[in-house]
Structure 1
Amino acid sequence: MSETTETPSDLNFEDALKRLEDIVRKLESGDVPLDQSIALYEQGEKLRGLCQKRLEAAQAKIEKITLDREGKPAGTAPFDAE
């Protein structure tokens, strides 16, 4: 069961999301004992947080393209989420 209780922080987004999807599938199946369901839920919450951090980091790196008066690309500016 060590696979279901460990959440390595060095997982990339895609691997963390895949693990999270696997956990959700197991929990939705209803075939998991209560104690294991609780452990899976806790791991899922950690993975959700990890995915959120990875998404926020990616968003911070996004740059938007700025256009000049003629509508041609003139450069980039930092991403502004608001």
Structure 2
Amino acid sequence: MNDAPPTTTSYEAATARLEEIIRRLDSGEAGLRETLDLCKEGRTLVEFCAGELEAVGRGLQELRLDDLVARLEGSAPDPAAAPSPANASTPAPPSPPTSDNLPF
């Protein structure tokens, strides 16, 4: 029996096969050799599923980190708030004088 799941196995297919294995073992109808083979296959499938879950978890973590970095850097500016090229070089008007910035 091959201990590695096929490379085309999906997480969903692996969990479905695990359910079949569990049903077969729970039935008590499997002989000694079949029980051993089913346990080996089940262990391989569990390891495969754990790896898939870890990969998805890392992907989700990366998405959250990217989102956090984008928010911290403000790298997702609102296009409506960006200055247009026509008035991008126009300086802001001077602020009106106050008692704090008068020369006397």
Task: Tell me the TM-score normalised to structure 2 length.
Answer: 0.56
**Equivalent residues in 2 for 1:34-53 (5 A)?**
34-53=32-51
Shift of 1:5: 6.2
RMSD of aligned Cα (Å): 2.5
1:23 to 21, 24, 48: 21
Partner of 1:76: 67
Supply the AA of the counterpart residue of 2:67.
T
Tell me the TM-score normalised to structure 1 length. 0.70
Task: State yes or no: 1:64 paired with 2:64.
Answer: yes
More strand by share: 1
Following the alignment from structure 2 to structure 1, what is the Cα–Cα distance between the partners of residues 56 and 8? 15
Query: Which ranges of 4 or more aligned residues in structure 1 deviate by more than 6 Å?
Result: none
Give aligned-pair identity as a percent: 28
Aligned residues: 67
**Structure 2: where are the runs of 5+ without partners?**
70-104
Contact between 1:13 and 1:51, CA under 8 Å: does it hold in 2? Answer: yes
Gaps of 5+ in 1: 66-74
Aligned to 1:68: none
